Amino acid sequence: MLTVKSLTKKFSSDGHDVTPVNDVNFIVPEGVFAAIIGKSGSGKSTLLALLGALDKPTDGSIEVGKTDITKLPDSKLTEYRRHDIGFVFQQYNLIPNLTALENVMLPMEFAGVKLLERKRRGVELLEKVGLDHDKQSRRSNRLSGGEQQRVAIARALANEPKLILADEPTGNLDTETGKMIFDLLHDLSRSNNVTIIAVTHDLEIAGKTDMAFKLKDGKLASGK
């Protein structure tokens, strides 16, 4: 279970104080596919970065299970990112000179998984997201947008995390491919009992998730 209490993030930009996340509270049960919706600049991506320990909040807490990750030192946060969460970015963010398989194997390498096991699981995950052997051995920058996002999803699942955070996972894709990626995430949520929190501005997609929160000017405006 993910419990967010009084979460606030402030920073200074061009001499002005900005509060992209302002006293946000919500709970997401385990195995649920939740969406965070809102307009550009509403604080969706900042909230996701806080949940993924990519940034530190100014105030409030984020409890994953019984651990408040806002209290963890940097070394523990690295372990949290390594073992407990998986990221899917709008820009895919694959390492361009590595193959699809090598990209998927990377988080497992960080987690200390042996080489043979890394390969076995990498191939299995890529097949699960629908990439055949030929695509697996291609450099990631030689794949299409949809294929790269599939690799990114496989990479996010590499260390079998409890939580996947997806920042506009369909934002760079055409409608049909976007739908396929969304369905893929949805299936994974169901089959692997993984909690998924996806940021999106696509209301149709948000409508298909189990939960949705709307952010407006950094504050939680409504939820379903």
Partner 1 sequence: MSVVMRGIKNTSRNWIRSGAVVFILAIGIGLALSMLVANQAVNNKIAELKANMGNTLIVNPAGGKGLEGGGEPLKSSDVEAIKSVSHVAAVDAAMPMMLQNQDSESLGMIRMKNGSGPLKTNLQSSVDPGTLGMRGGSLSASGEDGKPVSLPIQGAGITGNKDQSGAELSIVEGSKLTGEENTALVGKDLATKNNLSIGSTFTINDTTVKVVGIFDRESKFENNGVFVPLATAQKLTGLSDEVSFIVATVDSIDNLESTLDAIKNKLGADKVDVTSSQQNVETAISSLESVKTVSVVGFVAAMIAAGVITFLIMLVIVRERRREIGVLKAIGGSNRTIVSQFMVEGLVLVALGALVGTGFALASSNGIANALVSSNMSSSSDEQTSAGKMGNGPMVRMGGPGHAVTLGGNLKDTSNLVKNVTTSVGATTLLYGLLAALAIGIVGSAIPAWFIAKIRPAEVMRGE
Nearer to partner 1, 78 or 175 (CB): 78
Piece of 22-30, 34-42, 50-58, 214-222 that binds partner 1 (CB under 8 A): 50-58
Among 29, 30, 71, 109, which residue sits at the site for partner 1 (rule: CB under 8 A)?
109
- The alpha carbon of 4 is separated from its chain's Cα centroid by a whole number of angstroms, namely 16
Least distance (Å) between residue 166 CB and partner 1: 12
Over the window 73 to 92, marking each residue x when it contacts partner 1 by CB under 8 A and - when it does not, the resulting string is --x--xx-xxx--xx-x---
Q: Is 159 in the site for partner 1 (CB under 8 A)?
A: yes
Among 1, 110, 123, 186, which residue sits at the site for partner 1 (rule: CB under 8 A)?
110
Piece of 49-57, 129-137, 170-178, 214-222 that binds partner 1 (CB under 8 A): 49-57
Per CB under 8 A, contacts with partner 1 among 166-205 are none
On the CB side of 128, how many CA atoms lie within 13 Å of its CA? 22
Nearer to partner 1, 78 or 222 (CB): 78
On the CB side of 188, how many CA atoms lie within 13 Å of its CA? 30
Number of residues that bind partner 1 (CB under 8 A): 29
Q: Which residues bind partner 1 (CB under 8 A)?
A: 46, 49, 52, 54-56, 75, 78-79, 81-83, 86-87, 89, 93, 95-98, 102, 105-107, 109-111, 155, 159
